[in-house]
Homo-oligomer: A and B are copies of this chain.
Amino acid sequence: MASQLFKKILVANRSEIAVRVMRGCKALGIPTVAVYSEADAHSKHRMIADQSVLIGPPSPRESYLNIERIISAARETGCDALHPGYGFLAENPLLPKACKEAGIVFIGPGADAMRLLGNKVESRVKMADAGVPLIPGMKGSSADIAQFEKAAESAGYPVIIKAAAGGGGKGMRIVREESQLADALAAARREAMNAFGDDTVYLEKYLSDPRHIEFQVLADHHGHCVHLFERECSIQRRHQTIIEETPSTALTDELRARMGADAVRVAQAAGYTNAGTVEFLLDKSGKYYFLEMNTRIQVEHPITEMVVGVDLVVEQIKVAAGLPLGDHLKKLSQRGHAIECRIYAEDGENNFMPSIGTIVHYSEPEGPGIRVDSGIMAGMDIGIHYDPIMAKLIVHAPDRSTAIAKMTDALEQYKILGVKTSRRFMIEVLNHPEFVAGRTYTSFIDDHMSARATGSDGHVALAAAVASAVAAAPVKVSSGGSRKSSVSPWESVGAWQIGDTIGE
């Protein structure tokens, strides 16, 4: 049975993705081990693991990026497999290498495929050879600014600078004229170094208003590779998606089939195994270009799971255990429409400025077709050490307009207090006539959302009314018992336990 796949799996990550991976392990009956930094002693991913190991101080370099410490945690606890999640070490080829040396199965691609695809420069060359369409730009990187200037001129401004080791918008800069090039190059290198420990960057033509379309692929160790259709990730701020959906409104069945076939071609050209994502840009004329392949489970994988009906983490584990792709992966279809909203600790009313603080209230939305993948709980501190993603809200509905209505309802139901989020901003994006019409592209937010009204005067009276009820609610302290201090959370709150008189 399934429980024989692995004895125990170490999840080398934190927050929502660590929690989600552990749920996949549980569904296969496999015990899990969490690793955590000193800042995460009270984190949700630690709480739900069967075991946990402290791996170091808050700084990622000394904890979640510390390969040696993570491998030894896996050894100490008797793990025979390791899942990297996304971010941190997920796309660092040294991790699968270290796993191999330690006799631990890495749940992800091999180090060679990861190294190739992780280098955006090398992989461009490889994919050009495989006949996959590419955006015009530099063939390789360079330390010389003159090379960048030349390439920019030949591709034509605007151009974009990207980190070779990059992803998620970090180390990325759009350059609209030559005078900005030097500054942008320096900033991109600095960010790339901070984010990936590697400041190699390259340059491409910047497409105007493209859609970002990616294909999920899954490849086993027996030569089978399938794609699980597309995700559209066009709604971006800071070059990072905040709303994803599938199916894309831009794809015809014919275009979907061609792009899917190219996605499989990319994976096969790279000798890829396990789950991965092939990213394309799609321009207005229906031409598409290979952007990069992400060699990890993606933040937005749940929308594929809901529409295609697979559990990608379960499939990752099965592939890593050496099983061939199951029959259910050979007759895949898309059913209904799914949308994901990323819940970051950031202020949607103030330029997405990161927000830190304590979560003083937390309650999740619920209902059919609503899924929350979260890494937080009431009482947690959101600090400065890690990526500000707190949770992902995913809805699935029969069609796109129902999915939009359901997501709107779910975002309104979702209560998070103490740190700021972009919930209101995302509700407004989802209900913007251009979004409803399916006309999404990567500059959507800049073009359509910058002039939005953010007033809330109509709500202040309502808020004051609720605050009054909060202020008026008296404490009920336990009356009996020998220990006057024994008041459980329950005894101090609750609609049915309010005293007869108010305050003073």
The interface of chain A, by Cβ under 8 A from chain B, is 1-3, 19-20, 23-24, 26-29, 42, 302, 305, 309-311, 313-314, 326, 328, 333, 335-336, 358, 360-361, 364, 366-369, 371-374, 378-381, 397-398, 401-402, 405-406, 409, 470-475, 477, 483-490, 492-497, 502-504
Contacts and interface: CB of A to CB of B under 8 A. Distances in A.
A487 B498 CA distance: 12
Q: Top 5 A-B pairs ranked by shortest CB distance?
A: A23-B367, A489-B493, A492-B492, A379-B494, A309-B335
A15 B406 CA distance: 20
A367 B28 contact: no
A311 B397 contact: yes
B503 A488 contact: no
A317 to B, nearest CB: 11
Contact of A496 (B333, B381, B397, B483): B381
Contacts of A369: 27, 311
A165 to B, nearest CB: 30
B328 A398 contact: yes
A475 B503 contact: no
A39 to B, nearest CB: 13
Nearest to A335: B309
A380 B402 CA distance: 31
B486 A471 contact: yes
Contacts of A488: 470, 473
Contacts of A504: 483-485
Given A2-B402, A27-B402, A409-B26, A474 B485 contact: yes
21 contacts: A20-B367, A23-B409, A26-B409, A27-B369, A27-B402, A28-B405, A309-B309, A311-B398, A311-B402, A314-B398, A333-B333, A358-B496, A367-B373, A378-B490, A379-B497, A475-B475, A483-B504, A485-B504, A486-B503, A487-B492, A492-B493
A399 to B, nearest CB: 8
A310 B492 contact: no
Nearest to A360: B490
B496 A485 contact: no
A373 B381 contact: no
Contacts of A326: 398
B487 A20 contact: no
Contacts of A374: 366
Nearest to A305: B368
Contacts of A495: 42, 379
A87 to B, nearest CB: 19
A73 to B, nearest CB: 23
A274 to B, nearest CB: 17
A492 B489 contact: yes
A23 B379 CA distance: 29
B361 A490 contact: yes
A401 B2 contact: yes
B310 A398 contact: yes
